[in-house]
Amino acid sequence: MSAAERPDRVVLGVTGSIAAYKAAELVRLLVKGGMDVSVIMTKAATEFVGELTFRTLSRNPVAVDCFDKSFRWEPEHISLADRADVMAIAPCTANVLAKLACGMADDLLTCAALACRAPMVVAPAMNERMWLHPATRRNLDVLKSRGVEVVEGSEGELACGGRGAGRMAEPAEIVRAIERLLGRKDRRMRP
């Protein structure tokens, strides 16, 4: 199958946030829109949503560990980075946001993100205090200056029980950002 015939490929990073449950809907919408989705989960993300959920929805294996015991000649983080037409990280915690801004690569997701040359979308999700912290604001500015598309969330109910900024954007909004980066401005996804 030529590149023109194959579906657009999205590599989706899912990090350890309560908003990880929204990533399942994001995968569903992307697949429904005809995209091939590969999911990378941080170990912390697996505490919120199981690998089986993403494997079932994406119809692809889910990557979690740099040191997978199955033998493959190619480094997993490089093959995933090369696979992406767009890389998205949703939810993107303050921790992963900081790692991306600093160029740290200490797990499979951040290694793949650092190696990836495709356009990137991040959808932050964190408590309002973390969202408004000057370090987080600076990290967002760094990523935006590198061309990363940041899909900011809205104010609303937070996992801590309070209300405020820091909620992850809705999956349909993240899909629209991914489609823009893929040049699919004229196509609309139906939830």
For position 71, what pLDDT does the model report? 42
pTM: 0.87
Beta partners for 121? 88, 149
What pLDDT score was predicted for residue 68?
57
Question: Which sequence positions are flagged as catalytic?
Answer: 160
| Residue 189 confidence (pLDDT) | 36
What's the CATH number for 9-182?
Answer: 3.40.50.1950
Q: What is the chain's pLDDT, residue by residue, as a tens digit (191 residues)? A: 555 677 899 999 999 999 999 999 999 999 999 999 999 999 999 999 999 999 999 999 998 876 555 545 455 556 676 677 999 999 999 999 999 999 999 999 999 999 999 999 999 999 888 899 999 999 999 999 999 999 998 776 766 667 767 889 999 999 999 999 998 544 443 33
Q: Please report the DSSP string for 134-182 in residue order.
A: HHHHHHHHHHHHTT-EE-----EE-TTS-EES-PPPPHHHHHHHHHHHH
Q: What's residue 190's pLDDT?
A: 32
Strands (E), the chain: 9-14, 36-41, 62-63, 86-92, 120-124, 149-150, 156-157, 163-164
pLDDT at 4: 60
